[in-house]
Amino acid sequence: MKPLTFYVKSKIGKVLGWSALGLVLLITILVTAFSNYFTGTDESELASIPESVLKWKPIMEEELAKYGMEDYIQIVLAITATESDGSQLDIMQSSEAIGLAPNAIQDPVYSIQIGIKHFKDVIDQMNQTGVDLNTAIQSYNFGSGYLTYIADNGGVHTTELAETYSKEVVAPSLGNTSGQTYPYSAPVADENGHYLYTNGGNFYYVDLVQQALNSGLSGNGVLAVPVEDQTITSAFGFRIHPITGEHKLHGGVDFAPINGGNPPVFAALKGKVSQAAYSSSWGNYVKLTNGNGIETLYAHLKEITVLPGQQVETGETIGYMGTSGSSTGVHLHFEVYQNNNRIDPAPLLGL
């Protein structure tokens, strides 16, 4: 792969416009399916990432493992869903990363290999420049010059900075020196005008990837908050690990007790106890299979009060908050899985 110099995926706006419309339809279908679950309708399993992308997950995980980047699998899946929805042979739209014409790569496996190598290089530069993860994600669309630009402008990606870079750097480099725009009707553009710059990439790229990451379920509190006496101490997303100091994905939400002690932990959704065990990282933990591809996990418990195979109802006590395992204090680490992929619990909890 040639060095990460500036490049842009031509025609990306057009492609992503259709991808975003497809994601809107996908969200509508999935929210309906999840609602049917609560009314007893037997629907197929939910999937925020389409099956046409998920089927490549084992190969993506294998490629990420070569670079010690297994924690980034969800982001790579979301990037792929945004780039092609799994409908093109150049599944990660990697051709231009090695100087080829768009969609020149006709082998999905090779596209994944090149795309993940490019993503790895972007992450390396993210760590070198000290910018945030969203800057790295946007750079998959804009090219590595965006990392330097953000490093020189506060270190944190914003849509406003991305638009400026699109207009003043990307578009002129490909001949659009007049600021020419074209209509862009994706919902992510609702608050900022429905346009993109001709030959300017897509300055909403981060929003589209986040939409793919979180699109599978409704965000209106469809899960019960698993603790009553609580405050959120760490959200879902990449962070500096408080024990190891590594920059890695925090795959859930941490709740700590406001008034101290070891308050009870409740099932966020009815289901069957699939695991009630101990691990060195999670400590005492419970995992529930909630149906329709949904699982919930409750970690660092002081005490577990349920057994594997037991059916529990929403709001039923399954244990007590503690600090077992790899933990710096009493808290609940809560995760949600959708078809074996960790997703952000906060919107589902109405938080």
Q: What averages of pLDDT result for each successive group of 10 residues across the chain (351 residues)?
A: 39 40 43 37 43 94 93 88 94 94 96 97 92 91 95 92 97 96 89 90 91 57 79 81 73 88 91 94 93 88 95 92 90 88 82 72
Say if pTM beats, i.e. exceeds, 0.75.
Answer: no
Q: pLDDT by residue (tens digit) across 231-279?
A: 888 888 776 767 777 777 788 999 999 888 899 999 998 899 999 999 9
The pLDDT value recorded for residue 36 is 37
Say which CATH class 231-349 falls into.
mainly beta
Q: pLDDT by residue (tens digit) across 319-334?
A: 999 999 888 889 999 9
Closest alpha carbon to 275 in 316, 246, 309: 309
Domain spans of the chain, in order of start:
12-214, 231-349
Q: Of the CATH numbers 3.40.50.1000, 3.40.50.10540, 3.40.50.2300, 1.10.530.10, which one belongs to the domain with range 12-214? A: 1.10.530.10
Distance between CA atoms of residues 230 and 328, nearest Å: 16
The tally of CA atoms less than 13 A away on the side-chain side of residue 175 is: 3
Six-digit token pair at 89?
């042979």
The pLDDT value recorded for residue 44 is 27
- Do 12-214 and 231-349 show the same overall fold? no
The pLDDT value recorded for residue 7 is 40
Please report which helix (H) or strand (E) contains residue 276, including its range: strand 271-279
Coil, strand or helix: which one is 317?
strand
Six-digit token pair at 29?
């279908």
Buried b (16+ CB within 10 A) or exposed e, 32-70: ebbeebeeeeebeebbbbbeebbebbeebbebbeeeebe
Distance between CA atoms of residues 276 and 295, nearest Å: 13
The pLDDT value recorded for residue 147 is 96
Distance between CA atoms of residues 10 and 12, nearest Å: 5
For the chain, the residue count is 351
